[in-house]
Amino acid sequence: MDAIQQKSILPPGPKPLPVLGNNHSFVRDPLNFLQTLHQTYGPMATIRMADTPSVVLFEPEHIHYVLTENPRNFTSAEFAQGLQEFTGHGLFNLDGDTHRQQRRLVQPAFHRKRVENYADTMRQYTIEMLNTWKAGDRIALDQELQQLTMRIVAKCLFDIDLGLRNSKLGQAFTDILENQPRLLETITKLRIDLPFTDYGKRQRGKRIIDKVIYELIAQRRTEGIDKGDFLSMLLETTEDDKALTDTQIRDHIMTFVAAGHETSSNTLVWAFYLLAQNDPQYQKLYLELQEQLQGQPPTLADLSKTPYTEWVINETLRLYPPAYLIGRRAREEFKLGEYTLPAKTFVLISKWVLHRRPDLWENADTFQPERWRPENAKNIVPWSYIPFGAGPRMCIGMPFAQMEMRLLLATMIQRFKFRIVPGFKMETDPLITLRPKNGLQVILEPVSQA
Ligand code: HEM
């Protein structure tokens, strides 16, 4: 049955405009819009993206139901359509059995033991970046971190070194990220491949990246050497006794590079921002690192000795979850709270609201890494914190990202103090991920001034 005909049983929500639905309010200021929805309508609210009803969920147990109790009833690929232009048939764009099968194929790349081998690259590349800086420099920290995390993911997973700066590949990704489809393109689906259109700029980026990746695959096939990395694993993988095609391999690579650098770099940017605003917490972090590492860059083994570093990352992911919205589409009718929601309903899960709900979190908007101290963390309401999602689609790169963010933060904090440029205004820019709108401009100070 068509979802639109079942209006009466959907939860209440704001009045939609003809044709546009609630698109305009959502696109204008998504984060405020989501907060207001929760304040006005409580546990769930219906909005309309053009003529499609979407139910936005704010309750931990409802979110748990959709993501982990009954995930087979929900598809996801449709929500990632915007990514499909680049990630093809990578994990984001698959559903059902195909998703399960492909995820099983790539999962070994993210086993904890394998991921631990990446620690040295993460540390070494961070030191190389820091060695090009000196106290007094003004740095666009967002750009530096994006290049660093891109360099790390490319080296760890595919053994290619993009070099320190200005890689063509990095620029191509920037072209893609900075020219995301705007409202007009989304609604009209009008895509014109010219150098000055957003779509054209994204396509230019895609062509550059595709060329690099296909050349890399061809080179590896010719060499025939197992380098022990993710790419070698993909090249050897068989599906029903058939090797993966170049296109399948390319799609997995694109997915992991796309998913695996912006999320981590944005989290770190927000962490530096929060630490610059909260001196007592910065001091605690700095002292922990001084005491435990005495100025040395951390090794993997050091991570267990630096819990405060982990709490800083956890708390940053609470306040600024990079994947701030998760989307699903129901296959069949389902019950949630007092509602029976029809098949085809679009479900949106708002982590931005969930992670900041004042009834779930004490001092919800305040940066308090101490809330992650085990004796405090045991009081956290189950399912109220899901930065990496949950269930069968939970972030496959979580162990990679957690280790990377802690190693990078600990290495960088020991070298410089990061002061935000006076007058610089930090704003959120919720695109596919939650980006800092104007980046983050910092001035480096020697740590002795800390
Ligand atoms: C701070 C860092 C990160 C955060 C917050 C994050 C968050 C997430 C979330 C919430 C999802 C689930 C989306 C959904 O349920 O629809 C996801 C999926 C995914 N993530 Fe991450 N991620 C991070 C880093 C990474 C890294 C480093 C990689 C790879 C190297 C990665 C690869 C992926 C992939 C491939 C998926 C799709 C999984 C699937 O559909 O089965 N992520 N991520």
Share of the chain above pLDDT 90, in %: 62
> Residue of the nearest CA to atom 36 in ligand 1?
395
Contact 100, 410 (CB under 8 A): no
Residue 162 lies in a domain: yes
Contact 46, 70 (CB under 8 A): no
pLDDT band at 4 (very low <50, low <70, confident <90, very high): very low
Q: Which is the closest atom of ligand 1 to the Cα of 261?
A: 27
Share of the chain above pLDDT 70, in %: 93
Q: Say which residues have a Cβ less than 8 Å from residue 365's Cβ, sequence separation at least 6.
A: 319, 356
Pick from 70-79, 173-182, 263-272, 411-420: least confident:
173-182
Average pLDDT, the chain: 89
Residue 128 lies in a domain: yes
The average pLDDT across 209-215 equals: 90
Angle at 436 between CA 398 and CA 48, to 5 degrees: 85
What are the tokens at 272? Answer: 């530096």
Sequence ranges of the binding site: 395
Say whether pLDDT at 52 is over 80.
no
Residue 78 lies in a domain: no
> Residue of the nearest CA to atom 41 in ligand 1?
393
Helix H or strand E segment including 75? strand 74-75
| Ligand 1 centroid, distance to 92 Cα (angstroms) | 9
For residue 349 and ligand 1, the question of a CB distance below 6 A is answered with no
Q: What's the Cα-to-Cα distance from 319 to each of 121, 156, 309, 326, 354, rounded to whole Å?
A: 28, 28, 16, 16, 10
Contact 356, 296 (CB under 8 A): no
Q: Which is the closest atom of ligand 1 to the Cα of 94?
A: 40
Express each pLDDT in 166-209 by its tens digit. 567 777 877 777 777 765 666 566 778 888 888 899 899 899 98
Comparison of pLDDT for 426 and 443, the residue scoring more: 443
For residue 401 and ligand 1, the question of a CB distance below 6 A is answered with yes
Contact 435, 262 (CB under 8 A): yes
Express each pLDDT in 416-428 by its tens digit. 999 999 988 888 8
Q: In angstroms, rounded to a whole number, what is the distance separating the alpha carbons of residues 330 and 73? A: 6
Say whether pLDDT at 7 is over 50.
no
State the virtual CA torsion across 233, 235, 240, 246 in degrees, nearest 10: 140
pLDDT of the residue at 70: 97
Residue 343 lies in a domain: no
| Ligand 1 centroid, distance to 395 Cα (angstroms) | 4
- Which residues sit opposite 46 in a β-bridge? 55
| Ligand 1 centroid, distance to 225 Cα (angstroms) | 29
Express each pLDDT in 229-254 by its tens digit. 889 888 988 777 788 899 999 999 98
Residue 277 lies in a domain: yes
pLDDT of the residue at 282: 97
Q: Work out the number of other CB atoms within 10 angstroms of the CB of residue 422.
A: 7
For residue 400 and ligand 1, the question of a CB distance below 6 A is answered with yes
Residue 267 lies in a domain: yes
Q: In angstroms, rounded to a whole number, what is the distance separating the alpha carbons of residues 358 and 314? A: 18
Residue 328 lies in a domain: no
Q: Which is the closest atom of ligand 1 to the Cα of 153?
A: 30
Pick from 96-105, 194-203, 365-374, 378-387: least confident:
194-203
Phi, psi of 341 (to 5 degrees): -100, 135
Q: Which string of DSSP letters, residue by residue, matches 308-350?
A: HHHHHHHHHHHHS-SS-EEEEEESS-EEETTEEEPTT-EEEEE
For residue 322 and ligand 1, the question of a CB distance below 6 A is answered with yes
Q: Which is the closest atom of ligand 1 to the Cα of 76?
A: 16
Comparison of pLDDT for 142 and 430, the residue scoring more: 142
Contact 325, 47 (CB under 8 A): no
What is the number of structural domains in the chain?
1
pLDDT band at 364 (very low <50, low <70, confident <90, very high): very high
Contact 22, 16 (CB under 8 A): yes
pLDDT band at 60 (very low <50, low <70, confident <90, very high): very high
Express each pLDDT in 297-335 by its tens digit. 999 999 999 999 999 999 999 999 998 999 999 999 999
Q: In angstroms, rounded to a whole number, what is the distance separating the alpha carbons of residues 367 and 278? A: 8
pLDDT band at 56 (very low <50, low <70, confident <90, very high): very high
346-350 and 52-57 strand pairing = parallel
434-436 and 346-350 strand pairing = unpaired
pLDDT of the residue at 135: 96
Q: Which string of DSSP letters, residue by residue, matches 425-446?
A: ---EEESSSEEETT--EEEEEE
Name the 3-class secondary structure at 416: strand
pLDDT of the residue at 182: 65
Q: How far is CA 266 from the centre of its chain?
A: 8
Contact 108, 415 (CB under 8 A): no
For residue 259 and ligand 1, the question of a CB distance below 6 A is answered with yes
Say whether pLDDT at 363 is over 90.
yes
For residue 63 and ligand 1, the question of a CB distance below 6 A is answered with no
pLDDT of the residue at 207: 92
Picking from 321, 326, 324, the residue whose alpha carbon sits closest to that of residue 348 is: 326
Sheet holding 325-330, edge to edge: 44-49, 52-57, 346-350, 325-330, 74-75
Residue 436's domain comprises: 89-323+355-449
The average pLDDT across 16-24 equals: 73
The CATH number covering residue 305 comes to 1.10.630.10
Say whether pLDDT at 386 is over 70.
yes
